[in-house]
Amino acid sequence: MGTHVSSPSKVATSGDLLSDYLKQNQDDIGVQIVKRFSVSNGVLPFLFKVLSIEKALSIQTHPDKATAEKLHAEKPHIYRGAHM
């Protein structure tokens, strides 16, 4: 969920762009965020992720090359070497 121009979020109830909504509703962003990131234009400098707590999600990490090679050598059926 964010305000990036290439894929902006919209407010579900109105269909307005999130950036337009936030520009008009600065209190919803919070005073500290507005001051710290200068977001008076409604554009957030970060991507806000909403995760469901209803079901566990897998965690994806990207090891460095040496660790990836070691993991692939130990368990090639799990750690495929497609990107090595």
User: Picking from 24-28, 41-45, 49-53, 74-78, which range would have the lowest pLDDT averaged per residue?
Assistant: 49-53
Q: How confident is the model at residue 1 (pLDDT cuts 50, 70, 90)?
A: confident
DSSP string covering 46-72 = S------SSS---------HHHHHHHH
- Tens of pLDDT, residue by residue over 48-73, are 777 777 877 777 777 888 988 898 89
Cα separation, 29 vs 3, in Å, equals 12
Look up the pTM and report it: 0.53
Amino acid at 2: G
